Amino acid sequence: MSRIAVLFVMAVLLPTVVKAQAQMTKEQKIADAMKAAPASISAAAAIMDWPATEGGQMMTLRAGTNGWTCLPDFPGTQGDDPMCVDEVWLSFMKAMMSKTPPQIAREGIGYMIASGSGGYGSNTDPYATKAAPDNEWGYDPPHVMLLVPDPKVLQGLPTTRQSGGPWVMWSATPYAHIMVPTESTKK
Ligand SMILES: [Cu+2]
């Protein structure tokens, strides 16, 4: 879920973002966003674009009918990392953007499984924008991501990427969630 973190540095990255977004047409953004989940989900999902201005709202590229929302690559960061999320995840992302505690009503499910996709981020700090000695900066492979209402159920799961299997990202923060890699965690 490291892509969410980048929203918080829109102020810094905005010139880069605007430039990069201009390089993808609306149709290309929709096609990229739809790669993030199986077609059975993304075909009827709403397609939203990242805010074009600091503090702005996501913009609808295409209305949906199945409760899922897909977003294209966030262009201000390295890699191609589109995502498709359910309502719980969308609510969680909005909470992150406003730095408020998320209300997780039920398990939330998100897909970032586009083949060959992935991005870099901190495994400990949701708001980190670059590598630091203590923030476990690294590669997040294509994955499914899970939110749980009760953080106690995360106890006992790995909290680092090292095992190559599922792990808890941003453990011990309000934004903890389970990462389930669908490709090798090595790059
Ligand atoms: Cu993710």
Query: pLDDT tens digit string along 29-44?
Result: 999 999 999 999 999 9
Per-residue model confidence (pLDDT) at position 99: 87
Span 69-123, pLDDT tens digits: 999 998 767 788 899 999 999 999 888 878 899 999 999 999 999 988 888 889 9
* pLDDT > 80? residue 21: no
Tokens 């059975």 sit on residue: 40
Which range of residues forms the domain containing residue 72?
4-181
186 is a domain residue = no
pLDDT at 177 over 90: yes
Q: How far is the CA of 23 from the centre of ligand 1 (A)?
A: 23
The secondary structure of residue 129, as a DSSP letter, is -
In a 3-state reduction of DSSP, which class is residue 167? strand
152 in a structural domain: yes
46 lies in a domain?
Answer: yes
Instruction: Please report whether residue 127 resides in a domain.
Output: yes
How much distance in Å is there from the Cα of 22 to the middle of ligand 1? 24
Ligand 1 mean position to 52 CA, how many Å?
21
Q: Where are the beta strands (DSSP E) in the chain?
A: 46-49, 59-62, 69-71, 83-85, 108-112, 119-122, 137-140, 143-147, 167-169, 177-181
* Ion ligand 1, residue ranges at CB < 5 A: 1, 112, 145
In-domain check, residue 140 = yes
Cα–Cα distance between 64 and 57 in angstroms, integer? 17
pLDDT at site 63: 98
Q: Within a domain: residue 87?
A: yes
Report the domain count for the chain: 1
Residue 187 lies in a domain: no
Is residue 39 a part of any domain in this protein? yes
